[in-house]
Amino acid sequence: AQSVTQLGSHVSVSEGALVLLRCNYSSSVPPYLFWYVQYPNQGLQLLLKYTTGATLVKGINGFEAEFKKSETSFHLTKPSAHMSDAAEYFCAVSAGTGFQKLVFGTGTRLLVSP
């Protein structure tokens, strides 16, 4: 069984500040981990993914995440927030085998103030 916990339903940052969105997972098999972003009235868009190999993965729009097995974490970061980053962010895990359904966290809404 797999699960994802996202700490903080809302995170507020100032433009130019560091963005840190937290994700912890639980998985009985080696996990595949994903971050998706949802802008208003749009679908879920993949930001980045971790499957195997390098634990620091880079995604679109300057985001990156680091897979830490010992901490069962996959936190999302961006060095400098931009107003356009305001959106809902979802962390998800899949088993990487079978039909690979995604198990999502509850999401974190990122608010960026000028």
Partner 1 sequence: EPEVTQTPSHQVTQMGQEVILRCVPISNHLYFYWYRQILGQKVEFLVSFYNNEISEKSEIFDDQFSVERPDGSNFTLKIRSTKLEDSAMYFCASRKEGGAGNIQYFGAGTRLSVL
Query: If binding is defined by CB under 8 A, does position 105 make contact with partner 1?
Result: yes
Query: If binding is defined by CB under 8 A, does position 59 make contact with partner 1?
Result: no
CA angle 71, 5, 59 (to 5 degrees): 75
Q: How many CB atoms lie within 10 A of CB 92?
A: 23
Q: Which stretch binds partner 1 (CB under 8 A): 12-20, 29-37, 66-74, 79-87?
A: 29-37
Amino acid letter, residue 4: V
Q: Minimal CA–CA distance to 38: which of 90, 83, 82?
A: 90
Q: Which stretch binds partner 1 (CB under 8 A): 11-19, 28-36, 67-75, 76-84?
A: 28-36
Query: If binding is defined by CB under 8 A, does position 55 make contact with partner 1?
Result: no
Among 15, 86, 102, 109, binds partner 1 (CB under 8 A): 102
- Separate counts of helices (H) and strands (E) for the chain: 0, 12
Structure tokens at 17: 């500040």
SS3 49: strand
Among 25, 63, 89, 90, binds partner 1 (CB under 8 A): 90
Residues forming the site for partner 1 (CB under 8 A): 32, 34, 36, 41-46, 49, 51-52, 90, 92, 96, 98-107
